[in-house]
Amino acid sequence: MALSGIEVISVPVSDQDVAKKFYADTLGFTVAMDTTFGNDGVRWVMLRPPGGGSAITLVTWFDTMSPGSQRGTVLGCDDIEQTAAGLRAGGLSFHEETIQDAPWGRWLTFSDPDGNAWVLQQTNR
């Protein structure tokens, strides 16, 4: 078996247009695809973080994934102070006032418009 990585992470949202705007405009993700698939015309909205890596898709079609139910997905950055300042300047609010320290790195948390919880992390190397 030769797994090569995580390709796409499904993020459950209630409104794909609102979520797409947040991820693209606030977080700086690039829209990789916005199209329909299947006989029902389900919409596939896929975005990639600015530094590349695994994509996310904004899903509305999984009955077992309610909007806002995602927790703990980590977005990495090289300089958390600079990244957090830029995101705050773009309108993002973090759950914590100050950067948190842990043995593995430094982090802050935030949520998307549906309440999906994300971690912004600068990993100790």
pLDDT digits (tens, 9 = 90+) for 16-41: 999 999 999 999 999 999 999 988 88
* pLDDT, average across residues 1-13: 94
Domain boundaries, the chain: 8-123
What is the reported pTM?
Answer: 0.93
- Give pLDDT tens digits for 50-66: 988 999 999 999 999 99
To the nearest whole number, what is the mean pLDDT of the chain?
96
Dihedral sign for Cα atoms in the order 25, 56, 111, 88: negative
Question: Given this model, what pLDDT does residue 47 score?
Answer: 98
Q: What is the CATH number of domain 8-123?
A: 3.10.180.10
pLDDT at 1 over 90: no
Question: Under a CB-based contact definition with an 8 Å cutoff, are residues 24 and 91 in contact?
Answer: no
